[in-house]
Structure 1
Amino acid sequence: MTSEDIGPGTARPGGRTARVRSAVLRAAGDALAEHGLAGLDLADVARRAEVGKTTVYRRWGTPATLVADLLADMAEQSLPRTESGTLLGDLRANARLVARTLADPRQGALFKAVIAAATCDTRTAAALHRFYDIRVSEWEPCARQAVERGELPADTDTREVIRAVSAPLYYRLLTTGEPLDEATADRAAEAAAAAARAGAFRTARP
C-alpha cells in the first residue's frame, strides 16, 4: 500500500515510499480540512509534503483517489476497540473515541469536508463508505459479545448498535456545532445500549 508506482495494498511497507505516502496524506488532510475537495490540488499537496509533483501525480492521479487513500490510512491508524466486559462500557469507549476525533479542530474539519464531498462525488462516497464499514467491523464484536453474554436479544443487528452510538455525534458535528464532550459521548452510548436492550435493533421484530 506504499508504492509510488503501483496501487495501494500491493507493496511492502516501510522505507522511502512509506515516508512519502505519510507526508502526502498528511498534507492532503491539511489541505482538505482547509479548502474542501474542490480546493484539493495535487500540486499544492506536493508542495506541502515537500515531494515532487511527478510522484504525487503518478501515485494518486486525481484528488478523489488521494482522498480514498487518505480515508484508508485513517481507518488503518484508528485506535482498536476497547473491551470492558460490558456492553455499556464498550459503547462508552467507542463514543468517547468518536467524540474526541470529531472535536479535534483538524479532524472535525476534515470529516466535514469529506462528508460534504461524498454527497456529490461517487468515488469519495465509496471511500467514505469503506472507511465506516471498517470502523463498524472493528467495534461490532462489542455488541456480538453482549449477545453471547445474554445482555442483548439473540437476533440483535449488532452492526446497527455500533452505528447508533456515533450517529448523534455526527449529527451534532454537522448541524448544531454544540460541544462534543465526554458527557455527550456517554449519553449517546447510554441511549444506544438502552435501545439495544429494549430490542430496537432486533432483526425479527415482534
Structure 2
Amino acid sequence: MRSEDAEPGTIRPGGRTARVRSAVLQAAGDALAEHGFAQLDLADIARRAEVGKTTVYRRWGTVTSLVADLLVDMAEQSLPRTETGSLLGDLKANARLVQRTLADPRQGALFKAVIAAATCEAKTAEALHTFYDIRVKEWAPCVQQAIERGEVPEGTDVQEVIRAVSAPLYYRLLTTGDRLDEAAADQAAEAAAAAARAGAYLRG
C-alpha cells in the first residue's frame, strides 16, 4: 500500500497525514474565527481544507474532537518563553505575546469562540484547560528563576504569577471591548511583578 493511501494517523510526522492535519486544523481555525463554535460543520471544514469528508470524519469524528486537536496544535506551535534576566522583563515578554495573540483579528475571534464553547462542551473545556496548562508551564520557569535571584520570595506560586499576567488581558477581550495594546500588556506585567515581589502569590 502506498503511503498516500494509508489510514490517517499511521504515517510518520511530515507525511501526508501531517499535511492533512495541518490543512484541516487551519480550516477549522478559520471557520471557528468566522462563525463561532455553533456553526462549525465537518463537511464544510473538509471542503475548506480540500480533503475528503471521509478522512475528516474518520480522523476526528466530531466537532469537539477537532477543536480539541486544534487547541493541542496551538499550544504546541506557540512561541517558547523569553528569558530577559529580570522578572519584569520576562513577564512583559509573556504579556506582549498574549496581547499580540488576542489582538489579532483571527486569533482573538478564535479564542472567544473556544472559550464560549468551553462553557457548555466538557471536551472543549478540558482541551482549553490543557492548552493553558501547557502555556503556563512553559513560562513558569521565569518566575522560578526570579525566586533564585532573590527578586520574589521563596514559596511563591510560580504558575499563579503567570496566570496573573494574562488574566487582565483576557478580561478586556471578553468583557470591555477596550483596545488591547502593548501598554495594556505592560501594565498587566507590572502589576503581576509588583504583587509577586510583595508576596501576594505565596502558597498557603
TM-score (norm 1): 0.94
Q: Does the aligned pair in 1 maintain the 2:11–2:17 contact within 8 Å? A: no
Q: Aligned pair 1:95/2:95, yes or no?
A: yes
Determine if the alignment matches structure 1 residue 74 to structure 2 residue 82: no
Distance 1:43 1:193, change over 3 A: same
SS of corresponding position for 1:142: helix
CA gap 1:202/1:4 in 2 versus in 1, 3 angstroms: farther
The Cα of 1:12 is off from its aligned counterpart by 3.0
In the aligned structure 2, how far is the partner of 1:189 from the partner of 1:157?
16
Select between 68-77 and 32-41 the one with higher mean Cα deviation.
Answer: 32-41
Q: Is the 8 A contact 1:91 1:193 kept in 2?
A: yes
Identity fraction in percent: 80
- The offset of 1:34, in angstroms, is 1.3
The within-5 A match list for 1:30-45 is 30-45=30-45
Q: Which structure 2 residues correspond to residues 122-141 of structure 1 after superposition, within 5 A?
A: 122-141=122-141
2:8 to 5, 12, 15: 5
Shift of 1:36: 1.3
* Distance in structure 2 (CA, Å) of the matches to 1:26 and 1:5: 17
**Cα deviations across residues 136-155 of structure 1 (Å, max 9, x unaligned)?**
00000000110111111101
- Match of 1:107? 107
Counterpart residue identity of residue 95, structure 1: A
- Does structure 1 residue 24 correspond to structure 2 residue 27? no
Question: For 2:178 and 2:68, how far apart are their aligned partners in 1?
Answer: 29
Structure 2 unaligned spans of 5+: 1-5
1:152 aligned residue: 152
- Cα distance, 1:11 vs structure 2: 5.8
SS in 2 for 1:109: helix
Structure 1 residue 38, shift from structure 2 partner: 1.1
Distance in structure 2 (CA, Å) of the matches to 1:150 and 1:70? 39
Q: Does 2:61 match 1:61?
A: yes
Structure 2 CA distance for aligned equivalents of residues 77 and 92 of structure 1: 20
Residue 13 of structure 1 and its aligned partner are, at CA, apart by 1.1
- TM-score normalized with structure 2 length: 0.95
Q: CA deviation at 1:5?
A: 3.3
Deviation at 1:168, TM superposition (A): 0.1
In structure 2, the CA distance between the partners of 1:155 and 1:60, relative to structure 1 (3 Å rule), is: same
Partner of 1:185: 185
CA distance in 2: counterparts of 1:74 and 1:124, whole angstroms: 14
In the alignment, the residues of structure 1 paired with residue 152 and residue 14 of structure 2 have an alpha-carbon distance, to the nearest angstrom, of 43
Contact 1:4 1:58 in 2 (8 A): no
Specify the alignment match of 2:3 in structure 1: none
Number of aligned residues: 199
Q: Distance in 2 between matches of 1:45 and 1:32?
A: 10
